[in-house]
Amino acid sequence: MYKIKLKFVGTSDTAGIPIHNCKCAACEMYRKEGRFNSPSCAYIELAGGVIFIDSGSDELIKIRERKKQLAQFLTHFHGDHAYGLLRLRHSAKEIPCYHPKDDKGFADVLQRPHGFRFVENIPFQSVRVDGLEFTPVPLVHTRPTHGYVIKTPNKSAAYLTDCSDIEEESLRFLQEQSLDCVFIDASYDTEYNDVKHLDFNMANKLVELIGVREGFLIHQSHYSLSYVLNHNIELKYPYIFEGFEYNL
């Protein structure tokens, strides 16, 4: 049987890691190892093609040249999650792009969709793509934002970025899904004050409230990663990095 894989192209915040001219522990580690972590985006690899979740890296263009893009799921229209749409929308065949309602969109992609067929999500209403089920879940952020519960014949997972909190209706829905794993925003450390994102302790608590077998932290900044490195912190739920794969 073909294994369904969720593959992360990038797992960082809008700045990526390393930051130009920054000498923090995270940036120096990435330079030493010759790595770069782009803003958060991932794709599901199926036998018949790929399904993208967010579009914060030009690497997605290369990926779909190898395997047909079946659909695009967008959490929100902030540039670090949507800028790849400027190129991905150019397709000779129609590709559905599912997104939360947000009339501002990003740049001119809503006005000039080219090969995309933009479809507004209805919260908690599932859509199916190539045998997989995707359910949008509203999250608390500065723009209309949806996480996604993804169900395959084998597992169920939640992709929850960006957010500063999860309101009761969404939290209750997530708790009812018997999720195998959750990937959740943890942009900052506990000393960095921000109203747009979770820190890693807040994310840990939400993972426990949701109730899953496995939890993973994403959308990290160089601040949070340096804090973990400098203080030798062992996180209950780990940060994952570019290239991480999960069998769905």
Pairs from 18-23 (Cβ < 8 Å, separation ≥ 24): 18/222, 19/222, 22/222
State yes or no: pLDDT of 1 exceeds 80: no
Q: In the prediction, which pLDDT does 232 show? A: 94
Selection from 105, 70, 73 nearest residue 91 by Cα: 70
CA quadruple 62, 89, 75, 152: dihedral sign: negative
Pairing of strands 49-53, 69-73: parallel
Give the neighbor-by-neighbor strand order of the sheet with 156-160.
127-129, 132-139, 145-151, 156-160, 181-185, 214-218
pLDDT band at 158 (very low <50, low <70, confident <90, very high): very high
Span 129-152, average pLDDT: 97
What is the pLDDT, as a whole number, of residue 25? 97
pLDDT at 3: 85
Order of strands across the sheet that contains 41-46: 116-120, 95-99, 69-73, 49-53, 41-46, 5-10, 245-247
Task: Answer yes or no: is pLDDT of 193 > 80.
Answer: no
Predicted confidence band of residue 195 (pLDDT cuts 50, 70, 90): confident
Q: What are 49's two structure tokens?
A: 């093609």
Tokens of 43: 């794709």
DSSP state, residue 152: -
Q: What is the pLDDT of residues 104-118, one digit of tens each?
A: 999 999 999 999 999
Q: Reply yes or no on whether the pLDDT at 140 is more than 60.
A: yes
Closest CA to 127 of 175, 170, 71: 71
Domains and CATH numbers, the chain: 5-247 (3.60.15.10)
What SS3 class is residue 235? coil
**pTM score:** 0.96
Per-chain mean pLDDT for the chain: 95
The CA-CA-CA angle for residues 40, 52, 80, to 5°, reads 30
130 — pLDDT class (breaks 50, 70, 90)? very high
- Mean pLDDT, rounded, for 87-91: 96
| 202 pLDDT more than 90 | yes
Q: 177 pLDDT exceeds 60?
A: yes
**Secondary-structure percent of the chain, ordered helix, strand, coil, rounded to 5:** 20, 30, 45
- Check whether 170 has a pLDDT greater than 60: yes
